[in-house]
Structure 1
Amino acid sequence: MEPGADLAGEAAEQACKETGSDFARLSKKIVAAGLMRRRPWYYTLRIGVITGLFAAGWVAFALVGDSWWTLVVAVFLAVVFGQVALVAHDVGHRQVFRLRKASVRAGKIAGNLAIGMGYGWWQDKHSRHHANPNHEELDPDVIPDILVWTQGQARAAKGLPRFIGRSQAFLFFPLLTLEGFNLHVAGVRALANRSLKQRTSEGILLFTHFALYLGALFVVLPPGKAIAFLAVHQCLFGLYLGSIFAPNHKGMPTLSGNDRPDFLRRQVLTSRNVRGGWFTDIALGGLNYQIEHHLFPNMPSPQLREAQPIVRQHCEELGISYLETSLITSYSQALRSLHDAGAPIRESAATKADVETETETKADVKVDA
């Protein structure tokens, strides 16, 4: 598990080498349009602005001090943490720096130190997702953990996934409030994995974040307000992150076994774009162009909008379904898919209840007799 190893980009490059393939022809159009060029000034400005907002948030936290108004600062910092995570995402795909060492260094600063997310753990997980999106055995994002993503997973579910699965569509957004905590826990747990390279530096930066974060909260605020700040900040951070990633693949077709289409179809058919203007681009970090991002993970995010018409036309020429919806519709489709996935659990519970009722009725009749 090597931080900075962009398996997604390597998979795209390998697909490009398949001369004459549908993706290779698309790639030539994208390169000819100059859309794979670096954007150093864009990222200098973006990182500078986010760094300034990050610093301003903590200065505001110190100035507001022992007041319930500090919860407003918690909301602000939740959004800023989400934006830092999006920068770490772009760094991980080597959109910002060409060299791996620079990407790893920046990724660990943004991930481990700034927001308490294990960069090496996330990079490995996210790259495997990119290589096989929505594949039940190969994509870690659709392996059942707390939620089930298909009816097959629901039938095999036990324990917590089975308990939550029957109502998971209604619980999805509430559960996203725990995602920030999950990132911290997963990052710490990954440090025990010997395959994680640079474990020492990752661990030092990760625990430095925790020490500075918790230290600031409990030095500036009394315990009650510190815990309230932590809860509001981390829960909204998790909700924001989850809301960014939920529209991208949830509710799209899933793959299993040897069902692996070619690279172009594998990425397009399992991804969904979200319509919107500049505000959507900023809020979702360019991931609203999920199809283009999955096809060209190394493409700087501001160029994804320009790539979209080229990719859409190419897909239309090949008869490949290209889905783009509003943000609300994308959430609706994701929730509907979760509800459908949990159907076998609900049906099983209903059948069990019917059997119990029938048994009780027979017992009552026997007693009366």
Structure 2
Amino acid sequence: MAIKDIPEYAHLTDEDIAAIAVELDQIRADIEADRGERDARYLRNTIRLQRGLELGGRALIFGSRKRSLWWTGAAALGTAKIIENMELGHNVMHGQWDWMNDPEVHSTSWEWDNAGPSAHWKHQHNFIHHKYTNVLGMDDDVGYGLLRVTRDQRWRPFYLGNLLWNTMLMLGFEYGVAAQHLELGKKRKTEEAKIAFQKDLRDAGTKIGKQIAKDYVVYPALVGGATRSRRGFRKALTANLMANVIRNIWTNAVIFCGHFPDGAEKFTKRDMDVENQGQWYLRQMLGSANFRSGPVLGFLSGNLSYQIEHHIFPDLPSNRLPEISVRVQAICAEYDLPYTTGSFPVQYAKSWRTIAKLSLPNKYLKATSDDAPETASELRFKDGPEQHLVSTVDPRTGRRRGLKSALTRLRDRRRGVVYLETRPAA
């Protein structure tokens, strides 16, 4: 039930983990030393593109007399919201562009086009989620307090609605994010906690009110007034609604591909207080998943198609993640660690499969609680040659055999593949 001993599960020694940390620290140093005008130009061009799409989309909606123009305008506006949310808002608020010392794109000043206040999101996401990634009981992104995504979560009848809850969350994802920081089901026992909650509730309500007024009152009223028709008001309102739904569905899909497909591991709270930098790096590598992307898909995902690299280096510029991924994959190959990736449709389908499957009690599921695609622990290796949870060297090839090889052997053993055992090199 979740991974208790991360180095043991990873088949690595303390020396191995320290060596990985040195290599990853060097990647950070190299990128930080190389940041410059090329990166700043990328950001400025992204802002111009986002603003152009938004203006173009609103202009098409304003002048639309044909359904095709309405759909084109709504799609352009939805794409602008995706870029603002994913490649700008998310990444700016991570501090990826603070090195430019530009107040317009600084993490302390950016307020995104989203229902949740940026201050709430930065605490919930930057501090809690990225510090305690996939740690049960500490990272609220594990199921968002709504979904069962690992067998470590005790089953309740509520989870029979897993598919319905996720559909609702997907359509209104910005409001789910806004509510997450509020922890609405949490009991506040002290007066200070109650006062803090009331303040957070007011801040969230104010931001949500501003977003609703902008998207569903002010702009539609301007269009309706300019066209002198209720139809113009209605077209603008429904186009804004469609653009927000497009953004919400896309954001939900990208985030779920990075956190809930097979191979994105979960962890217990054990030893979190004494976790060193190398162990933190390792947890990010094991707890995240990528999906394959070209330049366009990567850009529209905010480069979160490189979720593993983003979790290792959350404050490095997103446009550098593709080149960082080449070096991270080399480290995974060197230490025989899995590098979890797949096509976008497959990773998203696996996330939905997990959500559907775990709507049922464990007694109806086939795999065990220590050896399932979505839930694993070091106990998955307890029966068989993989139980020796340290890396060895293949005497035939001279290559390291660690976690990735152990997982491969485990899958093959289930299929009836027989290995001729060889003694590890001394």
Q: What's the TM-score bracket when you normalise by the shorter of the two chains?
A: 0.7 to 0.9
Q: What corresponds to 2:176 in structure 1? A: 182
Q: What corresponds to 2:412 in structure 1? A: none
2:162 is the counterpart of 1:162: no
Q: What corresponds to 1:318 in structure 2? A: 335
Cα deviation per residue 1:211-245 (whole Å; 9 max; x = unaligned)? 23222124535365455335423322210111121
2:265 is the counterpart of 1:253: yes
Cα deviation per residue 1:121-178 (whole Å; 9 max; x = unaligned)? 11111111111211221111115532111223242x35xx43413xx2x874564112
Looking at structure 2, the residues matched to 236 and 302 of structure 1 have their Cα atoms a distance apart, in angstroms, of 23
Looking at structure 1, the residues matched to 140 and 122 of structure 2 have their Cα atoms a distance apart, in angstroms, of 12
Q: What corresponds to 1:124 in structure 2? A: 123
Taking only the aligned residue pairs, the percentage that are identical comes to: 19
Q: What corresponds to 1:92 in structure 2? A: 93
Q: 1:28 to 1:253 in 2, by over 3 A?
A: same
Q: What corresponds to 2:51 in structure 1? A: 51
2:286 is the counterpart of 1:269: yes
After TM superposition, give the deviation of residue 81 of structure 1 in Å: 0.7
Q: 1:346 to 1:76 in 2, by over 3 A?
A: farther
SS of the equivalent of 1:321 reads coil
Q: How does 1:299-314 map to 2 (within 5 A)?
A: 299-314=316-331
Q: What corresponds to 1:211 in structure 2? A: 213
Report how many aligned residue pairs link the two structures: 319
Q: What amino acid maps onto 2:289 in structure 1?
A: R
Q: Name which of 229, 249, 253 aligns with 1:239.
A: 249
Cα deviation per residue 1:8-59 (whole Å; 9 max; x = unaligned)? xxxxxxxxxxx95532332114423667625212111111221222222222
Q: What corresponds to 1:367 in structure 2? A: none
Aligned 8 A contact 1:176 1:239 in 2? yes
Q: What corresponds to 1:294 in structure 2? A: 311
Q: Name which of 333, 339, 354 aligns with 2:356.
A: 339
Q: What corresponds to 1:5 in structure 2? A: none
State the TM-score, normalizing by the size of structure 1: 0.74
Cα deviation per residue 1:313-356 (whole Å; 9 max; x = unaligned)? 112222322212111221132223223322317849xxxxxxxx
SS of the equivalent of 2:196 reads coil
Cα deviation per residue 1:58-99 (whole Å; 9 max; x = unaligned)? 222222279784344223212211110120111111112235
SS of the equivalent of 2:256 reads helix
SS of the equivalent of 2:304 reads coil
Looking at structure 2, the residues matched to 85 and 265 of structure 1 have their Cα atoms a distance apart, in angstroms, of 28
SS of the equivalent of 1:343 reads coil
Looking at structure 2, the residues matched to 70 and 138 of structure 1 have their Cα atoms a distance apart, in angstroms, of 44
Aligned 8 A contact 1:78 1:234 in 2? yes
Q: What corresponds to 2:152 in structure 1? A: 152
Looking at structure 2, the residues matched to 244 and 85 of structure 1 have their Cα atoms a distance apart, in angstroms, of 12
Unaligned runs of 5+ in 2: 1-16, 185-193, 225-229, 366-426
Looking at structure 1, the residues matched to 154 and 294 of structure 2 have their Cα atoms a distance apart, in angstroms, of 37
Cα deviation per residue 1:232-281 (whole Å; 9 max; x = unaligned)? 23322210111121110113211123165711210000111111211221
Q: How does 1:9-28 map to 2 (within 5 A)?
A: 20=18, 22-28=20-26
Q: 1:100 to 1:53 in 2, by over 3 A?
A: closer
Q: 1:133 to 1:220 in 2, by over 3 A?
A: same
Looking at structure 1, the residues matched to 179 and 125 of structure 2 have their Cα atoms a distance apart, in angstroms, of 17
Looking at structure 2, the residues matched to 45 and 196 of structure 1 have their Cα atoms a distance apart, in angstroms, of 40
Q: What corresponds to 1:11 in structure 2? A: none
Looking at structure 2, the residues matched to 298 and 276 of structure 1 have their Cα atoms a distance apart, in angstroms, of 21
CA RMSD of aligned residues (A): 3.6
State the TM-score, normalizing by the size of structure 2: 0.65
Q: 1:89 to 1:136 in 2, by over 3 A?
A: same
